[in-house]
């Protein structure tokens, strides 16, 4: 994977993650605005799908990082991860 392709993949993944986070935030706002007049089960199903999307983005970010480390000659399992993102 070229540096340009890896960079674009990382940007796309971050945009997808932010979109899912924003969608969860908007779903919460909609739920509050609707008070008791909304189908709770439907909202929970959508929330679970968005949580699954967030989990996917985290897994893909790890996979992409490991792929980039491997391409750079490093062993992904031996690199200490920091919380810096």
Using left for φ > 0, alpha for ψ between -120 and 50, and beta otherwise, residue 35 falls in left
- 83 in a domain, yes or no? no
- 84 in a domain, yes or no? no
What is residue 75's predicted lDDT score, i.e. its pLDDT? 62
Other beta carbons less than 10 A from residue 46's beta carbon = 15
Ordered per-residue pLDDT tens for the chain, 85 residues: 677 888 899 999 999 999 999 999 999 999 888 877 778 899 999 999 999 999 999 999 999 888 888 776 666 555 555 655 5
What is residue 12's predicted lDDT score, i.e. its pLDDT? 95
- 19 in a domain, yes or no? yes
Q: pTM (2 decimals)?
A: 0.74
Q: Which domain holds residue 10?
A: 3-78
- Nearest 5 degrees, angle CA 85-CA 18-CA 66? 40
Question: What total number of domains does the chain contain?
Answer: 1
């Amino acid at each position: 994977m070229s540096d340009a392709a890896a960079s674009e993949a990382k940007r796309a993944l971050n945009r997808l993650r932010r979109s899912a986070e924003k969608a969860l935030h908007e779903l919460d706002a909609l739920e509050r605005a609707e008070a008791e007049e909304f189908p709770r089960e439907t909202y929970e199903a959508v929330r679970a799908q968005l949580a699954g999307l967030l989990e996917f983005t985290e897994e893909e970010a790890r996979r992409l990082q490991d792929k980039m480390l491997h391409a750079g000659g490093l062993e992904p399992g031996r690199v200490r991860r920091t919380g810096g993102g």
